[in-house]
Every structure is written in C-alpha cells, then in structure tokens.
Amino acid sequence: MSREYVLERAAHAFPGAIDYAAELNEQQLAAVTASPGPLLVIAGAGSGKTRTLTYRVAYLLENGIDARNILLLTFTNKAARQMLDRVANLLPVDAGGIWGGTFHSIGNRMLRRHGSALGYSSGFTIMDREDQKDLIATVVASAGIDPKEIRFPKADVLADIFSFVVNTEQPMEELLAEKFPYFLPLLEPIKDVHARYERKKKATNSMDFDDLLEKTLRMLREHEHIAQWYRRQFQFVLVDEYQDTNKIQADFIDTLAAEHKNVMVVGDDAQSIYSWRGANFQNILEFPKRYPTAQVFKIELNYRSVPEILGVANSAIAANVRQFRKNLTAVRESRGFRPALLALNDGSEQAQFVAQRILELRDEGVELNDIAVLYRAHYHAVELQLELSRRGIPYQITSGIRFFEQAHIKDVAAFIRVVANPRDEVAFKRMVRLLPGIGGKSAESLWNAWEKSLAANGEVTSWSERLSNLNVSTRSRKMWEQLAATLEEMAPDGTPNPPSEMITSVVEAIYDDYAKANFTNYEIRREDLNQLAAFARQFNDVQEFLSQLALISNVDAEAAPNAGADNEAVNLSSVHQAKGLEFHTVFVIWLTDGMFPSSRSLETRDAIEEERRLFYVAITRARDELYLSYPHMRLNAGYGDVFQRPSRFLKDIPAELMEEWQIKRNEFSPANRPDRRI
C-alpha cells in the first residue's frame, strides 16, 4: 500500500502586502477571499469583474500558492496580460509562472508538449483562415463533387460548419438542421468532406484554430497520464467571461478541475448573448448543478451608471425566468435625468431626432466619441447613416463596414447598374463573376465580347438575345440563361422596372442561392437585402436610385478620414459588438417587435430571453444619458408602410422610470437644419 505524503504550502509569503478590505467592496471581498473549492461569481455590469478576478489571483499568491499552479483562462490574450500585469503591480512577485491566456493558446502549449500522443509532432502548423479555406477547397475537389450539379457550400461556409460541430459538440445532422437547414440535402457529401479534411490535416501535420481545443480535450480524455499531470499542475483554475463559453470550453475546464475542483468562474448570466456563435447559456446557469458544493457570490454594486439607468436595466431583465436574480445598485449619485422614451413616425424621423440630439450634446460638451447609437441588426442604421452623412456628423461603424459598402449590397446593385448602363464595365464584371465557373479571366473575355456587341448593335432591347450570343463554359451555361431571364424580367422590352422590384428579381432568381453557398451569415445578409429593397421603394426611377447610392457613398468616403482614432466620431454599433464598452450617452433605436426583439427570436422562450439579455446589455452601456426610441411605421419591400408595435421589452419597464418625450416639428429651428455641420 502506498503512503500519502502532503507537502505544506509556504503560507503568507507576502504578509500584509495588500489591504483587501480597503481595496474592495464587501461583495468583491467575499469572492476574493473565499475558501478553496468551486466558486461562481455573478458579476453584474460595471461591477468591477476584472478587479475581482485580479485580486483573487493576488490573494492566492499571497497565501502561498505557486504561480505555476494557477491557470487563468480569458477570451483574449490581452485581457490575461492586463490582469497579470496588475497582479505584478500589487505584489512583489514574478507572476510569469502563471499559465494565462485564451483557451486556444493554452491548448496550443499543451499540444506542443504532448501532441505526439495523438500522432502530431511538436512542430505542427497552425493554419489561419485562408490556409484552412485552401485546404478545404482541395479536399472538396478530391471528393469528386461537381459544382455544376449542386450548389455546394464554399470553403468559407464549410469551415464555419465544421467549427460549429467542434464547439457545440453537436452531430453534423443536428447542426445543419438548426443553423443551415438549406444544406440538409447535402448532409452525406458534407460529412464526407469533413472526414477527408480531418485526414488531410493529420497527414500534413496541420491544425486549424478549433483543433487547438478539440485535440487538447481529446488528448486529456484518451490519455489519463497526461490529464493527471495537468490536474496536478493546475490546482486553481480561474475563468473570465464564463457566460460566453461554449460546450467544449466548459468540458475542458471541468476535465482539468475534475480532481481538486478549485475552479472559480466569473461572469454575468444577464450578458449571455452569443448563442448564435456557439456560446452555451447552460454552462453558467447549471454550474451549481455540476458542482453541488459551489459557493455563489453576487457582485451588484455598479460603478458605471447613474441610478436612473440602473432602475431601467433592473426592470428590463426582471422578466427573464432563467437567471440568477440580482439588483444592480449605483455608486454614483443621481443626475436627475430619467432615461427618455420616444415614439417617432418612422425611421427617417427617428434618424433626424438622433442626429439633432447628438448636435445638442456636442454643444453641451459631450464628445462624439462618448456617444453611441446601438441597434439589433446592421440594417437598422440605414436611415441614420444617411442623416448623419447629410448633416456632416462624423461616425464610425463598430459593427462592420457602412451599409452601402457591404459586398452583398454592391453585388445586387451591380445588376441594376448594368441594366441602367450596359456599358458599365466594373458592374458587368462584378455581376458575371457571381456565376459558377466564371473568374477574372472569363469575366474579361465576356466583357470584351459584350462591348463589341454593344458597338455593333447599339442599345439593348432584348437581354436574352444579346447574352445568348456570348460563349460561356458548360458549367456556367445554366446560370447564364438564368441571368439573361432575370435581366429581361428587370427591364422588359428594355424599360427598367422600379428599383425595388429589380432588387427582388435579382435576389429571388440568382443571389439568394449564391448567398447561401458563400456567406456564413446568410440570414443577416438576406435581411440587409430586404432592407435595401425597402429603401429603394422611395425611388421610381433607376437613375435617381443609383445616383442617390453614389452620393451617399461619396459623402461617407469624405467623412471617413474624420472618423479616425485621433478625431471625434459618433459610434454606431450592433449591441453584440458594443458589449464590454461604455459611453456617456446611448441611443437604442428600432425598439419594435420584429426588429428588437428580432423576428427570428419570437418562436421560443429561450430565444426571447436571450434577446432580453441583449436589451439589458444595450441599456447598461450608458453612464449618464439613455434614449430608447421606436418608430410607428416601417418601409417594407413588399407591403408598403407597415405599422410597428413597440418592443415587448418596453412594457416590462414601469412608466415612472422613464420620461416620455413628445416630438414636435419646427421647420424653422436652426438645430433642425440639415446643413448644420460639425
């Protein structure tokens, strides 16, 4: 029988170095100084989550825990470095022995040491996204898949599908049914490509980004001696932003903590908003079930927002059933300004209000950088981008590039440009390159033939007749005929239809299938295109529509230099992209059912509750002023003006917590003049 011998720790290595009671509030102190064992820290928005985690690391070191026995998992390497730098400033100790970083960086370190157990050498290559796409494309070609027969997903989309399978630990068929239902008929060839891709990576001693976690977890599960080695080393595991972890990340944590169970996870269930990219809300919600002896701490003292904003935030999230209930309280004193609630006629009036109020705030001394307009989806900001551009208010898009500069918007616009001006070389080449089998060289050849046709025969009266005379490959012939029919539909007898109808024709006949195969976020892009069609309803003349697009793009291009890091610019952002940020003033726009919450979320309680958490995140980005607005009417591509109901989330907030603003028009107000610029 073996004898157990216990090594005692050198306790209190730095006695009295930190006065924790003086540095932390009572709630933070309780979490930081908690006894070993599983700990769940629910840290509300603006409550000092990072401070709590940093001081916990310092507390462990001060109580004799060797730095090498601490694992700190974060979602960015920068966050880990910042925390460890703060620890080093708190204690006279080299914290370099701590393993701190992202899940994937930690997995990489483990695999470099022990990856041979899975048949990989320590010099394995980590592929970036472009390398991954190239390898998948090679595998698709070797699988004998004929793109002429089926619209097979492109390598970028396949990479996303494979990534979801890894991170959610779902079978392929379940994943496709949930997120990519239009690819279900291709289930077997996609599974075959996935298997070939895995074999190819192994043969070339290569890993993609997801392998750094998936292969590490497999190594720990299949090789107990390696798992035991790391369990002995990492006697304390600390995890930041735990609400954002996916299934495989939670399993990785549980595997490492299986023996000692000294795992501290910090997060806010009310800010779990990333299920669409694989985050699993169950991880934080069911932590006490997986660790029955877990101590649960709530940190509810908010250092960011005024009490009036926190009152709205607490009410907004209260309706969620599945949550750790908490009540944020403010450290800051009241400014006597209740959040504003505004009902506007339509999106255009909403944009005018936001722009005018931004100008007033700027006059009051609030910097543009400290103002944010938040929305549920990128296309919600179309009218606002137009209004800010017209008024010369610089802005920057945190949630992506400007609406009219997005690839799918420019793709569809190219068809309309060709109909309006058959001599538009750039638009013609962009349009034909969207068809299967047509690349840069083919597009050039087709353009040369098309240009000669125009020179010989003048203006186009029959698109079908003209295009049928151009030579295309057998692979492209079917879609080429579809292109001719679509252009004919867009401009029967050479007379262009209204722009909105032309957009619908392009999307339904050609671009929808292209988008499914080429974009991982197909549904979002389809919503953008629906919004483009709705925007185009303002124009009956195609030239007027295209001129307006060009003018908007040129104004934006001129304004862009003013929106750099060294200049002031209003922040336009989706709520997802704004998480973790804060601003003096926040406008949350398009708070109507179907917009926020989104129409896709209205079918299940879980989806609605995540949308409500997203609304909560939007509210808690504001420090001093908050404006919540909803238009009564919305332009719709197929139905004209559509009446909008206020978001159901607004009903959860007691009327006395907000101030309702009545909007009146004064055409002679200088602040309402569109030529007032910054």
Q: What 3-state class would DSSP assign to 41?
A: strand
Residue whose pair of structure tokens reads 């420019």 in the numeric block: 410
Spot the catalytic one: 86, 537, 621, 648.
621
- The span from the CA of 90 to the CA of 13, in Å, is 14
Residue type, 380: H
- The span from the CA of 508 to the CA of 512, in Å, is 6
Cβ partners under 8 Å of residue 233, min gap 6: 68, 69
Helix (H) or strand (E) holding 629: strand 622-631
> Are 102 and 73 in contact, with CB atoms under 8 Å apart?
yes
How far, in Å, are 351, 369, 422, 585 from residue 365 at the CA level?
A: 21, 12, 51, 12
Spot the catalytic one: 28, 245, 271, 486.
271
Nearest to 633 by CA among 641, 622, 625, 621: 641
Structure tokens, 500: 């909105």
Structure tokens, 74: 């974060």
241 is catalytic: yes
- The span from the CA of 635 to the CA of 613, in Å, is 27
Alpha-carbon torsion (356, 361, 363, 369), positive or negative: negative
Residue type, 536: A
> Are 303 and 48 in contact, with CB atoms under 8 Å apart?
yes
Spot the catalytic one: 241, 528, 568, 624.
241
Helix (H) or strand (E) holding 342: strand 340-344
50 is catalytic: yes
**Pairing between strand 329-330 and 640-643?**
unpaired
Opening angle at CA 511, ends 507 and 516, nearest 5: 115
66 is catalytic: no
- The total of other beta-carbon atoms located within 10 Å of residue 338's CB is 19
Residue whose pair of structure tokens reads 């985050």 in the numeric block: 279
* CA 595 from centre of chain: 17
- The span from the CA of 39 to the CA of 32, in Å, is 10
- The total of other beta-carbon atoms located within 10 Å of residue 302's CB is 23
Spot the catalytic one: 214, 240, 244, 624.
240
Structure tokens, 489: 């539909």
Q: What 3-state class would DSSP assign to 417?
A: helix
H and E: helices and strands count for the chain: 28, 19
271 is catalytic: yes
Residue 236 burial by Cβ neighbours in a 10 Å radius (0-12, 13-18, 19+): buried
Spot the catalytic one: 33, 50, 138, 548.
50
112 is catalytic: no
Cβ partners under 8 Å of residue 282, min gap 6: none
Say which DSSP state 360 is in.
H
3 is catalytic: no
Indicate which residues carry an active-site annotation.
49-50, 240-241, 271, 621
